[in-house]
């Protein structure tokens, strides 16, 4: 299952009043785990940077002056996102800015339905607790030591770790949290998805070598006729013999 964790930095809070994106960070996930595929760019917003926004991310007019416009990266971004589900912290905000940029280019907008909002996910799992990224990182003991300012790529990297924990952690299938506790916390089946771990070629070979040490009547080889016989019938037949 492919997902993309995405974050943006902007010149302000509302794209409908002329504010623009200045940074995009996106990370590919396969089965909720980050791969080495990343999309990252700074953007010239074609407008001035308000002091309030500069205080949040530290991206100045001078730094952004020679960066590409959104139109120059739109195709690469769309290709990276593909049709993957988008994991976003406060999805309506970032998607609102992205869709405003796509509208300017006459391109198709993205639906909020394809987004997994980690703010909503955290509030369902921890009702009444702070759901901002810093608070969730502290809850899950994720290192924040180099996050003096906001940054789209850095925040996407942190969110990828938070998202894995919100989905049940690195070993969700071994969780000791009861189904009743999950119901009380508002965690649905869709929020609790175990990862499927595929064995490697070496692991499969080692397993076959181990199985081969036993009589086929006790532990039949895969694909053999005996494999289709229920264990209790094999035991009964062996006892009768």
Indicate which residues carry an active-site annotation. Answer: 150
Could you give the angle at the alpha carbon of 75 between the alpha carbons of 133 and 13, nearest 5°? 35
Of 24, 122, 220, the C-alpha closest to 230 is 220
| Nearest of 160, 83, 90, 153 to residue 121 by alpha carbon | 90
Query: Going edge to edge, which strands form the sheet with 115-117?
Result: 33-42, 21-30, 2-10, 85-88, 115-117
Tokens for 233?
A: 């019938």
Measured N-to-C along each axis, helices 70-81 and 91-104 cross at an angle, to the nearest 10 degrees, of: 120
Number of Cα atoms under 13 Å in the Cβ half of residue 24: 26
How far is the C-alpha of 182 from the C-alpha of 184, rounded, in Å? 5
> Alpha carbon 11 to chain centroid distance?
25
The helix, strand and coil proportions of the chain, stated in percent and rounded to the nearest 5, come to: 45, 15, 40
Number of H helices, E strands in the chain: 10, 5
């Amino acid at each position: 299952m492919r997902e993309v964790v995405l974050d943006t930095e902007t010149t302000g809070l509302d794209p409908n009043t002329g504010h623009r994106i200045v940074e995009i960070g996106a990370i590919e996930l396969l089965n909720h785990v980050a791969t080495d595929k990343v999309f990252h760019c700074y953007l010239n917003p074609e407008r001035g940077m308000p002091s309030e926004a500069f205080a949040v991310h530290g991206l100045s007019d001078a730094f952004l002056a020679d960066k590409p416009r959104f139109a120059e990266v739109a195709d690469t971004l769309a290709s990276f996102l593909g049709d993957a589900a988008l994991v976003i912290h406060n999805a309506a905000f970032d998607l609102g800015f992205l869709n405003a940029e796509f509208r300017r280019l006459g391109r198709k907008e993205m639906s909020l339905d394809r987004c997994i909002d980690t703010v909503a996910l955290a509030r369902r799992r921890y009702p009444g607790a702070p759901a901002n990224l810093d608070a969730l990182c502290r809850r899950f003991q994720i290192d924040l030591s180099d996050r003096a300012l906001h940054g789209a790529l850095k925040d996407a990297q942190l969110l990828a770790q938070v998202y894995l924990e919100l989905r049940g952690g690195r070993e969700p299938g071994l969780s000791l949290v009861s189904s009743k506790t999950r119901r009380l916390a508002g965690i649905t089946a869709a929020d609790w998805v175990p990862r499927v771990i595929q064995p490697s070629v070496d692991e499969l070979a080692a397993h076959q070598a181990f199985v081969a040490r036993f009589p086929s009547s006790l532990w039949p080889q895969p694909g053999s006729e005996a494999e289709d016989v229920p264990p209790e019938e094999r035991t009964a037949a062996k006892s009768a013999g």
